[in-house]
Amino acid sequence: MDSQKVKEALARFRGTCNCCQAVVTPWAGELGEEEKNLFSLGAGFGGGMGRLQEACGAFTGGVMVLGAFYAEKKDFCYEQIRSLGEAVIREFGSLRCRDLLGVDLNDPISCAETLEKRDYKEICPKVIAFVTAYIEENREQ
């Protein structure tokens, strides 16, 4: 999982990107999109969609990328997204941000503890790397 795309995604997450943006923005060139547009599109999906902690932002970023690649092949697109989701569940146990982190990001105390501990710094990058590598390894050229 040490591809250039994975390295880019992780560097972006350590910078200004949320989890979704970190997965989406490295694909700008291949998608024929401006990076700033993908950055904007992914802005609300971090923290499981605006910190609602529902669908994992890295996973939703993967859904966006696969959707853009396969927009003209609806059934195939759905198969690819389902396959990605199943792979994330096998690897991490859930697609829900709350389950992955095991904490409520809207509780100031829990959130502060999470940001200081390994959860956010270790789990999120692992999911970001996994989703990015999965797309790279499985996408149809």
Q: What is the pLDDT of residues 4-24, one digit of tens each?
A: 999 999 999 999 999 999 999
Other CB atoms within 10 Å distance of the CB of residue 61: 32
Quote the CA–CA distance of 127 and 122 in Å, as a whole number: 9
Burial 102-130 (b: 16+ CB within 10 A, else e): ebebeeeeebeebeeeebbeebbbebbbb
* Range in 60-64, 67-71, 92-96, 135-139 with the lowest mean pLDDT: 135-139
pTM above 0.85, yes or no: yes
